[in-house]
Amino acid sequence: MTSRALRRRTVTPPAFPYDDRDLDRFRELQQLAYRCAQRVGAWLGPGVTERQAAARLRHELAAEGVRDYFHIPFAWFGDRTAFRDFRTPLQFFAGNRRLAEGMPYILDCAPVVDGYTADIGYAGRIGENEVWDRIAADLREYRELILAEVRARRPLADIYASVDALTARHGYDNRHKVYPGRVIGHQVTRTTARGPAGVTLFGFGVRTLQTLGRELVGERLRGRSPLWADGRASRHAPTPGLWAVEPHIGLGDVGLKFEELLVVTEDDAYWLDDDLPHVRRWRPEPE
């Protein structure tokens, strides 16, 4: 056996870096982010623009004490929920698209409080939309599939391929491939950088960019990546820690996703919180 092969065999995953108190703080912040997104969703109506929705979401987060962000709030309406004709990163920023009856919407925010980060996606519709209802119901399978395959310690790139296969079986198309880096998820850590809070660059917090840069370099040196995509860098088992996971599915001009934190330990995995809007939607109505 070569020394290279021996090194490959003896590599062990890093220890899970958080205690119960840390997980509580991440969970509380994720709940806060979803509360703010739900309040904005209840406020939305025909005629509201994406920019107005993103600004309202930022206002709601600030009212809850948020002063820093992993990334600034985003809002996408109509066919922009499916990222149709997106060619440059600038198209992800909220624009002047106005809501109309029957339109889907997605609100995405990533607040940071005391270094703890949440990154959530909240989807809804104005009025009736049968395509939206169908995808919303089917998303449950993606959540279950991702958890099962992470628990089986399958390589991240292989799990990505399994999500693609399920998307094809449903007759949908993968829209997370349009995100920068084609990511379906990314690691979330407790930010320790000492930059100016609330200052953003290209939509990302300066502290986030400092932390993410260190993680990219450190993880790559260990043969891993903090970004979960379908390429060579993701051909490794899930790294212990927290992952923000966002399968984004589209059909025609309707796009839908959830985004929430997945806990990966050395030998198990579980969603950080099952009391979230999309999970409650899947529960049977009480008789």
pLDDT digits (tens, 9 = 90+) for 41-72: 999 999 999 999 999 999 999 999 999 998 88
52 token code pair: 């107005």
Token output for 94: 């909220």
The residue with tokens 């270094």 is 115
Per-residue pLDDT band at 191 (split at 50, 70, 90): confident
156 found inside a domain: yes
Residue 63 in domain: yes
pLDDT band, residue 190 (cuts 50/70/90): confident
The larger pLDDT score, comparing residue 130 to residue 213, is at 130
Q: Which of 110, 111, 107 is nearest to 94 (CA)?
A: 107
Check: CB of residue 104 under 8 Å from CB of residue 129.
Answer: yes
Q: Name the nearest CA neighbour of 262 among 240, 284, 283, 279.
A: 240
Q: What is the pLDDT of residue 151?
A: 98
> What pLDDT, on a 0 to 100 scale, did the predictor assign at position 62?
96
Domain count, the chain: 1
For residue 38, the surrounding DSSP H or E stretch is helix 20-43
Q: What's the token pair of residue 256?
A: 């839908």
Domain that holds residue 213: 3-282
Residue 20 lies in a domain: yes
Residue 261 falls inside a structural domain: yes
Is residue 287 assigned to a domain?
Answer: no
pLDDT at 198: 54
Q: Quick one: which of 41, 58, 55, 151 has its CA closest to 105?
A: 41
In 95-155, alpha helices (H): 130-151
Q: pLDDT tens, 230-266?
A: 999 999 999 999 999 999 999 999 999 999 999 999 9
* CA-closest candidate to residue 258, choices 282, 228, 241: 282
Tell me, yes or no, whether 72 lies in a domain.
yes
For residues 142 and 144, what is the distance between their CA atoms, to the nearest angstrom? 5
Which tokens belong to 25?
A: 């703080």
- Alpha-carbon distance of 29 to 117, in angstroms, equals 7
**pLDDT tier, 224 (very low <50, low <70, confident <90, very high otherwise):** confident
Model's pTM, two decimal places? 0.87
List residues bridging with 205 in a β-sheet: 200
Asked if the structure places residue 28 within a domain, the reply is yes
Mean pLDDT along residues 87-116: 94
Is residue 207 predicted with pLDDT exceeding 60? Answer: no
Under the banding of pLDDT at 50, 70 and 90, the label for residue 88 is confident
To the nearest whole percent, how much of the chain has pLDDT over 70? 83
C-beta separation of 271 from 148 below 8 A: no
Please state whether 187 falls in left (phi above 0), alpha (psi between -120 and 50) or beta.
beta
Q: Could you tell me what percent of the chain has a pLDDT over 90? A: 76
273 pLDDT above the threshold of 90: yes
State whether residue 141 is helix, strand or coil.
helix
Q: In a 10 Å sphere around its CB, with 0-12 CB exposed, 13-18 middle and 19+ buried, how is residue 164 labelled?
A: middle
Residue 20 vs residues 241, 261, 285: alpha-carbon distances, Å: 13, 15, 32
Strands 200-201 and 241-245: unpaired
Cα gap 236→126, rounded to integer Å: 41
Q: Would 42 be classed as within a structural domain? A: yes
The CATH number given to whatever domain includes residue 86 is 3.90.230.10
